[in-house]
C-alpha cells in the first residue's frame, strides 16, 4: 500500500519525539536545560516563540526499510501529521536550534552575560 510518506526516506518524523516546554526564564531554568542537553540525542529549538525539547529516538515500529510496520494501525499523532507540514516538505524555519551544550550555553551567555555556567567538556 502506497502512502504519502513514501517520498520521505529516511522517515524523518519517525526518528524523534518533540514537545513544547515552558520558556526558560530563570538561571535555574537554563541550568536545567543545560543538564538535559548534556545528554545524548537531546536538543532544543524555538519555533514561533515557543520552546521545544527534542529527543532523537526512532520509533520502535520503524522498519529497516524505513517504513512503518504498523502503518494501517498507526497512532493518531502519526495519522494526523500532514505531509504539507512535515520536516521535509514544510516550512521549518526555527528561530533557534540548539543541538549541543555549547550552542545553548552561547545563547545563554548572549542573553544573560552576567550568568556563569560550567563549560562543556572539551
Which residue reads 526518528 in cell numbers? 15
Average pLDDT over residues 91-120: 88
User: Which helix (H) or strand (E) is 92 found in, with range?
Assistant: none
**What pLDDT band is residue 117 in, cutting at 50, 70 and 90?**
confident
Could you write out the DSSP letters of every residue in 6-59?
Answer: GG-SS-GGGG-EEEEEPPP-SHHHHHHHHHHHTSTTEEEEEETTEEEEEE----
How much is the pLDDT for 11? 79
Give dist(CA 13, CA 72) in Å, integer.
Answer: 17
Which residue reads 495519522 in cell numbers? 79
Q: 78-97: per-residue pLDDT in tens?
A: 888 877 666 666 666 788 99
Q: Which residues of 98-122 are buried (b: 16+ CB within 10 A; e: fewer)?
A: beebebbbebbeeeeeeeeeeeeee
Average pLDDT, the chain: 87
Q: 3-42: per-residue pLDDT in tens?
A: 666 666 677 888 899 999 999 999 999 999 999 999 999 9
Amino acid at each position: 500500500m502506497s502512502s504519502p510518506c513514501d517520498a520521505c526516506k529516511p522517515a524523518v518524523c519517525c526518528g524523534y519525539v518533540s514537545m513544547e516546554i515552558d520558556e526558560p526564564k530563570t538561571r535555574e531554568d537554563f541550568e536545567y536545560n543545560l543538564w538535559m542537553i548534556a545528554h545524548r540525542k537531546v536538543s532544543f529549538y524555538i519555533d514561533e516563540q515557543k520552546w521545544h525539547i527534542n529527543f532523537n529516538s526512532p520509533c520502535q515500529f520503524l522498519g529497516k526499510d524505513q517504513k512503518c510496520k504498523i502503518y494501517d494501525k498507526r497512532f493518531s499523532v502519526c495519522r494526523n501529521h500532514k505531509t504539507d507540514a512535515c520536516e521535509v516538505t514544510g516550512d521549518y524555519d526555527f528561530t533557534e536550534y540548539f543541538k549541543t551544550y555549547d550552542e545553548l550555553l552561547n545563547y545563554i551567555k548572549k542573553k544573560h552575560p552576567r550568568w556563569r555556567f560550567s563549560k562543556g567538556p572539551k
